[in-house]
Every structure is written in structure tokens, then in C-alpha cells.
Amino acid sequence: MSEPSRFDRGHTDDLMTFLAASPSPYHAVANTAERLEKAGFRQVAETDAWDGTSGGKYVVRGGAIVAWYVPEGAAPHTPFRIVGAHTDSPNLRVKPLPDSGAHGWRQVAVEIYGGPLLNSWLDRDLGLAGRLTLRDGSTRLVNIDRPLLRVPQLAIHLDRAVSSEGLKLDKQRHLQPVWGLGDDVRDGDLIAFLEQESGLTAGEVSGWDLMVHSVEPPAYLGRDRELLAGPRMDNLLSVHAATAALTAVSGGGLPYIPVLAAFDHEENGSQSDTGADGPLLGGVLERSVFARGGSYEDKARAFAGTVCLSSDTGHAVHPNYAERHDPTHHPRINGGPILKVNVNNRYATDGSGRAVFAAACERADVPFQSFVSNNSMPCGTTIGPITAARHGIRTVDIGVAILSMHSARELCGADDPFLLANVLVAFLEG
């Protein structure tokens, strides 16, 4: 295999734009849908009858999106090639009663979502974004992308042991952000503020799904700008690459039906109607088969020939903590995508799946690396095992190696997103 070409800076620039514009899963889905529309895809409603026409289609449900392209003349039993990813990231999310405060400070009550690196949220300028549900049942995206909130750290003079014993944070007491001053904490202030910011009338909002985000934009880093620092790479990096790959392969004759499945709630177990452990993907694939005149037998044949790449970020070897990694598996930044393996099925990869991924990398002329956890460290997991078990689909866990996973600001190589997208194109093309 020859050396891959220098990464395409335009692709990485576009990833930075996507990350900055997607502070919540709902924004990520809206931005993905916009890109699909520009590529000729059309949205179909789950409540409508579906037809079997060829072309690109997609379904949106909350913070999840499933898109697929049916080539001209595709048979009902044509297998799928799926790239799976997730739209959510660990963060701080607003509670049902958001207005709080003490000692002259006005605060916003938040709950911990997923498993964030809590210290990474301290002393950052934070915005607020998410989804507002109005009284008529419609929804409105909101994004206050300017310094609005801050979780102030305790000064070292009041915690002398922090440098020797480490920072200790109580999730309930120490992570509540401030956003103003005042002794009179009035119920409804935050929502009233968001209504005003969104051009809504007072009392129009009856529900919300809101979360904080760092307003610091993504940026190239390093002497040679070979690194990329930014938020929510876990796992919007994969959503972006999969969207680019799907739109790149659509429009031609393909032996498979390429699919993008970007789920919500991976960071807390995937058990929701928009999570990988829910019915969304299976329902879409089945309806696609039946819309093309297929039977249960056709669906069974299609699923039997289907392969899914579960694409999520993984761990690059950390120069300051190399002992935490397996001594013979040290994925490097800008070394190409990683193949994730765990014999206890925390990842879904097996030998046959490895062969599928290796073949795609060879066709794309992209190197890949292998990742396995240190035996002394618990292994994380992905949507991969869930997808394999729920749908009986052969699934392979892959991704891009990064540092600072689950931080408010993560770090990857500037080459790797483009290399991943190239491999996904080769995979979807078959």
C-alpha cells in the first residue's frame, strides 16, 4: 500500500464548521439534513406511506437521523452497507426547574449527562443550546453561542490540597454554573430569557431539552497545524465523515444500499426511541425493503448480507500516560482510522469484520491501526454490539484516535477525519 496523500484541508475546515454549528444533537441532525438536501436527498415522514422509488431519503426523529440511497433497479433483497454513529456528547444539561442561586449569585440548575471529564467544564465561557417545545407541539432550535454561563473553580487559596491531592468535584454542588447576580431568583427567568432571544412570546415554551457548550471555536493546533482541537468530536467527527461519504456515493449504481444511521443517547446507554437500542434503524430498513415490494424473506436476505461500520472515536496513545495503554497497541494521531477489538464484545469486531474493514482501507489507499484496551483497564463500548445483537447484522467497530475523550474540548489529528471519510466511501461503494 502506498502512502496516503496529504489530508484535504477543505474537508477538515468543513468539519470545524460542522462542529461549531452543532452544539446539540438536534443541531447536528438539522445540519446533517441540510447537507443531505443539498445532495438531492428528500425527507420522508414516518407517519406517511413510503414508496419504493430510487434516490436518497432520510428520516429525522429528535436527535437522530437515518438516511439511505436506493440505486436505480435495486432489488428488495439488496443488502445494506451502514455507517453508524451518534450525535450526543457528554455535557451538562438543564434541569426541569432551571432557576437557582445562592449568596447573591443567579445560577442554572444542571444535571450531568453521560460521563464528561468534569474538570474540563470549569472556568470556560459557556453558551446554551438545544430544543424548545412550544405549546402547539412544534419545536424550535435555540443556540445562545456567546459567553452566558460559567462554572467557576474554587481558588487555590481556599483549597490548598488541590495541587497535591487532586481536584475533587461533587456533581451536585460544584457544577452549577453562574449567569448573573441577584438575590431574587425568579422561577421562569431562564426560559423567559430564551423566549425573548428566540423571538417567541412570553409563556409560549412548554418544554425544553437544553445543554451547555463551550463557545471557543475549533482550531488548528501545533507548529505545523497538524492537530485539531474542538468540541464534540466524540462523535460528530464520525457523523460528519459519514454524511460526506454517503453524499459522495449517492447517484451511481451500487451493489448495496448505503445508509447513515446517527443515533442519540449513546453516552447514556442508547435505550430510547432515538438510540441505537431502539427500533428506529430496524424500522427504517424494513420499511425500505417492503416499500420496494419485498417480503419478510427479502428482508431476511437483505439483513443477512448487511454490514455495519460502527464509527466512533477511540484512544490515541497518550505521551504522558503510555502505561495506561496496551503495550503492543499504540494508535497514533494521523496514523489512519483504528479498528477496535474486544474479545468480551464491548466492541463488535471479529475476524470476518476485520477483513471487511481492511479491504475498504486497501481500496481507499489508507492505512489503519488496531486498538485493544490494556487488560487492567475496563473497556468502553459503542453502538456496535447493540446494533449487531438487535438486528443480527455483522458489525465492525472503527473510528478515529483522539486525546481528551469526553472533555469539553478534544484533540485529534488534522489528517484523520479525511482519511476516515475516504475509507467510508470505499466501504459504502462495496
Q: What is the pLDDT of residue 223?
A: 95
Query: Do 139 and 133 meet the contact criterion of CB atoms below 8 Å apart?
Result: yes
- List of long-range contacts for 276-279, beta carbons under 8 Å, 24+ apart: 276/84, 276/86, 276/383, 276/386, 276/387, 276/390, 277/386, 277/390
> What is the fold, at CATH topology level, of the domain defined by 9-89+231-429?
Aminopeptidase (3.40.630)
Those residues whose C-beta lies under 8 Å from the C-beta of residue 322, and which sit 6 or more positions away, are: 330
Helix runs in 166-274, H state only: 189-197, 233-249
DSSP state of 150: B
How many whole angstroms separate alpha carbon 337 and alpha carbon 348?
16
Number of C-beta neighbours around residue 87 at 10 A: 27
For the annotated binding site, the residues are 86, 157, 406
Cis check for the bond before 268: say yes or no (omega within 30 of 0): no
Helix (H/G/I), strand (E/B), else coil: 317: coil
Q: What is the pLDDT of residue 3?
A: 42
Q: What is the pLDDT of residue 6?
A: 38
Q: Are strands 338-340 and 394-399 parallel, antiparallel or unpaired?
A: antiparallel
For the annotated binding site for Zn(2+), the residues are 86, 157, 406
Q: What is the pLDDT of residue 186?
A: 78
Distance of CA 307 to the CA centre of its chain: 20
Q: What is the pLDDT of residue 1?
A: 37
Q: Are strands 55-61 and 42-43 parallel, antiparallel or unpaired?
A: parallel
Question: Which portions of the chain are predicted below pLDDT 70?
Answer: 1-8
Q: What is the pLDDT of residue 47?
A: 97
Q: What is the pLDDT of residue 187?
A: 76
Query: Do 242 and 83 meet the contact criterion of CB atoms below 8 Å apart?
Result: yes
Number of C-beta neighbours around residue 10 at 10 A: 9
How many whole angstroms separate alpha carbon 81 and alpha carbon 69?
10
Q: What is the pLDDT of residue 14?
A: 97
List the chain domain ranges.
9-89+231-429, 91-214
What is 46-96 written as a DSSP string?
Answer: TTSPPP---EEEEEEETTEEEEEEE-TT--TTPPEEEEEEE----EEEEEE
Rounded to two decimals, what is the model's pTM? Answer: 0.96
Query: Do 126 and 149 meet the contact criterion of CB atoms below 8 Å apart?
Result: yes
> What is the fold, at CATH topology level, of the domain defined by 91-214?
Aminopeptidase i, Domain 2 (2.30.250)
